[in-house]
Each structure stands twice: as C-alpha cells, then as structure tokens.
Amino acid sequence: MEFRLPDLGEGLADAELVSWSVAIGDTVTLNQVIAEVETAKAQVALPSPYAGTVVELLAQPGDTVPVGAPLIRIAVTAQAPAATANGTAQPNGTTTEAPAERQAVLVGYGPDTEPVSRRAARGKTGDAPGVSSRRGMGSDGPEGLGSSAPPGRAAATPAARKLAREIGIDLSAVIGTGPQGAVTVEDLHGIRPEALGTGHIPIHTPPPATLAALPVTLAAPEVTPMHPAPGGRAVPAVPAERETRTPISGIRKRTAAAMVASAQHIPQASTFVTTDFTASMELLEHLRTTPSFTGLTLTPLALVARAALAALTEFPEINARWDEANQEIVTKHYVNLGFAVATERGLLVPNLKEAQGFTLRDLCLEIAGAAAKARAGTATPTDLTGGTFTITNVGVFGVDSGVPLVNPGEAAILCLGSIRKRPWVHRDELAVRWVTTLGMSFDHRLIDGEQGSRFLASVAALLEDPLTLLSRV
C-alpha cells in the first residue's frame, strides 16, 4: 500500500521530509508515527494509516515532497482494517500490496480526489481548516500527536530528534530536560555515542542493503566539548573547522522567501515615536495584583497589542492588503493579530484569530498559549497563516527600536522597543520616567505617511494614558 503526502491544509503545495521514524523491514501499527515533515508553517508528525511491514521508503530526509507524491510503501497485514478496504487479504494471514493507483488516505484527513493541494482562494475571510482541527493530529506535547511519546519511543523535540539521528545517538539513553521530560537540542550538546556505553545502538540505522542507495553526506565538523563557564552557564562548542556550511531548508528557507518577496514587491516606509510608558507600567504592576490576572503573565506586549487593536478601529486602512492581481485594496473587518516568536527552528509568527474583541486578559492568555505552541513546535498551519496585522517585540533583546519588514499579505507591522528608565520632561520638569520607542513599517502603496503617522501617534497616546484604553472594547 502506497502512502502519499496528504494535503496538510492552508493551500500548502509541498513539505520537506525531516526524518523517518521507521526503516525498511519494520513492522508498523495503525496510527504509529512514521515520519516528521516540515511545511512552510509548521512541523508535523505523520501517523501511518495502515498496519503492516515497511517495504520501501520513497523519499529521503531533506527531500521536498509535493502533496500527493508517494512517501512510503507498506505491505498491509491481512487482519488490518486497511487491508480489507484497499488490499487483498490472504487466508493464511500473509501480507499483500494493494495497487498503487489509489491514493492512500491519512487517518483523520479524509479522502482527497486530487493528487495536488488546492490553494485557498484569496480574499476569503474564513479560516482554512488546519491540522489541529483534524482528528488525531492536534497536540501540545513534544511528539506532536499526544502528551507522551508512543510506546518504545523516547520523547524529544523535532529538532533534537533530527540531531540525534545525524550523530547516531539513541534518545532513550539521554535524560531530557524539556517539557514532560522531552529531550532537547541542548541535552545533546557534547554527547558522543561512545559515551553512552557498549549497549548503545544508533537509532534508525538502515539495513546494509540500502546503504548504497543513500546520498553521500559530509560528516559534521568535530567540536570541542562544552564546558561550564563561571556562573554555571555553558560555553558553546567551538568547531574545529574554520567554516560550517548549513543547508538552507525548512523554516529558514520559507522565511527567506517571504522576506525577499517583502523587500522586492512591497515599497515600505517607516515611522517612529518615543513615548512616556510610565502610566502603562504602573497599570500593569497594579493589575498583576488583582484576582483577574492571578496566575497570568501580564506583559507590556499584551497592553501594546490592546492599544493597537483599539487604534485599528480608528484607522481600518492599516488592517488591509494590496491585491496586485485584481488591482484592489482589500480592507479586513476582522483582525488576526500576529506576533513574532523566536524559536529553535527560526522565526515564527502565530496569529490570534478574530482578536478585535479581545480584552487585555484575553490577550494575556492567547499570546502565552500561542507562543508556547510555537516554541514547542506544535503550532499548526492555521495558527501561522492568515494574519492581518503583526507586532514584533525587539525590546526583549535590549534593542531600542527596529525597522521590520512587512509580512506579505499585510499592510503594516508594529515594532515595540525596550522600555527603560530615562530622563524625560514631565509637566515642565525633568524626571526619570519609563520610556519606549514604537516603530512601524508600512506598505506605502495603500498607506500614506499621514495615515501611518496618525495611527502610530494614536497607539502612543493610548499607552501614555492607558486608563482611556481600558474603557474601550
């Protein structure tokens, strides 16, 4: 039975195969994770829709596989439900392969009559179905399919699993420090296979007959082991070679393509304003002590997001996009609020759907939840697409401001700089106040300098007097 890459939603046309969890000759069970793929928006674990024996792996890690292309061939057992539908069961319990003409259906996805993905039509306000809305695929755990790893398989983040495969380490021999004991990339730093004892067996080693068919890869450069620095912080390993070449793939490849498109096709302008953030800091400090915010992470980003949402009601042209094909400006009457999150895999921008009516408490909950999913690698394509306005917080890195690039399909991006105590003239007297700089880049085709400046000034005014902000929905 041939299993083809399913349509993962959001009009994605292909995915990169990150790793195999099985090898030729392995016995697989129904819904067992067999591979991990990375789309332009998320990393997804694929479960097997069949029970049987792996006959052939039809793609190699690093390959870009189109939707509908074959991934793996499985000889289905006669007793398996899939065999009765698509294969020929033998009376003696042997296995048989079904014809490859019929496309395999991933459990939880339903049949697909076309071998390629169908891109979502532009201009629709509804959300396309994502992976999380499909049975058997949603999860907050490190494996992407449940809160714990399948039996016999160590829990690990996708990045750690890929690294372990490359350097030949059995993850079951490593003590994880991540969520729910998952092994992280940091846990693998400085570990060599020989240090794990004679009983260690590198995972997913292909049978000897298949080694000749594998592509030749350059060995990773030797590195010096990590050692603790004063204060207990680990010093990064120093490569022995003068240069390291890293293939451009996955999130980095897609991010690069989006940024090139932004720089080449969107004429961008930027504007800045420095504002007194003292009243906002005092409000945040007070709200943290109230019952409504007990146990929540109330950050300046949430308050800035609430101010931006309020300002968008005054300046709806900021929440729009340029439709070059139809020569139209499409103004959105809903806000899918995106915010940049730095992760192990690179920059991700999850967005909060229908955020225009969110309260400050709603934003605290939603931002924390979406950021956690992005960092854990469990954000779905739906979580990461469809944004209409974005905020990036470079202030957490100690940077005063920045000039971010507008996400393709949006009209503007707001940048929050660091919030510091600085000398400030307050009521005609010099005082020490909390001060920050807000910046905004915008598409100059549909936003004039006046509109962009007025919008940014409105956000700043709301943050200078946040009590007026709380009175607005």
**C-alpha of 265 from chain center:** 24
Q: Which residues contact 330 (CB under 8 A, 6 or more apart)?
A: 123, 320, 321, 322, 323
- Provide DSSP, 185-231: HHHHTT--GGGG-TT---TTPPPHHHHTTSPP-PPPPPBPPPEEPTT
77-107: pLDDT as tens digits: 765 454 343 444 444 444 444 444 333 334 3
Beta bridge partners of 437: 274
Q: Tell me what pLDDT residue 281 has.
A: 97
Average pLDDT for 125-137: 38
> pLDDT band at 1, cuts 50/70/90?
confident
- The residues, ordered by sequence, that sit 6+ positions from 242 with a Cβ below 8 Å of its Cβ are none
Amino acid 199 reads G
Q: To the nearest whole percent, how much of the chain has pLDDT over 70?
A: 68
CA–CA separation, 459 and 393 (whole Å) = 15
Give me the pLDDT at residue 235, please: 62
Q: Both ends of the chain: CA-CA distance in Å?
A: 55
CB 34 within 8 A of CB 104: no
- Tens digit of pLDDT for each residue in 155-205? 777 667 767 776 777 777 777 776 667 777 777 765 655 455 444 444 444
Which candidate in 189, 200, 204, 444 is catalytic? 444
Residue 134: the pLDDT is 35
pLDDT digits (tens, 9 = 90+) for 288-342: 999 999 999 999 999 999 999 999 999 999 999 999 999 999 999 999 999 999 9
Which are the contacts of 93, defined by CB distance < 8 A and separation ≥ 6? 77, 78, 79
**CB distance 362 to 369 below 8 Å:** no
Whole-prediction pTM value?
A: 0.58
Q: Which amino acid appears at position 290 of this protein?
A: T
Q: What is the DSSP string of 100-165?
A: TTSPP--TTT---SSSS--PPPTT--SPPP-GGGSTTT--SSTTSSSSSPPTTS--B-HHHHHHHH
Active site residue 189: no
For the beta sheet containing 33-38, the strands, ordered from the edge strand earlier in sequence to the opposite edge, are 43-47, 33-38, 14-20, 64-66
Q: What is the pLDDT of residues 211-225, one digit of tens each?
A: 344 444 444 445 555
For the record, the structure tokens of 403 come out as 């000039």
Angle at 103 between CA 102 and CA 105, to 5 degrees: 125
Range in 203-207, 241-245, 385-389, 426-430 with the lowest mean pLDDT:
203-207
Q: Which amino acid is at 389?
A: F
Q: Are strands 412-416 and 429-443 parallel, antiparallel or unpaired?
A: antiparallel
Exposed / middle / buried, residue 399 (Cβ in 10 Å: 0-12, 13-18, 19+): middle
In sequence order, the β-bridge partners of residue 28 are 52
Measured between alpha carbons, how far is 406 from 401 in angstroms, rounded to an integer?
15
- Residue position matching structure tokens 């929905």: 473
**pLDDT digit string (tens) for 226-269?**
556 555 666 666 667 888 888 887 778 878 888 898 998 999 99
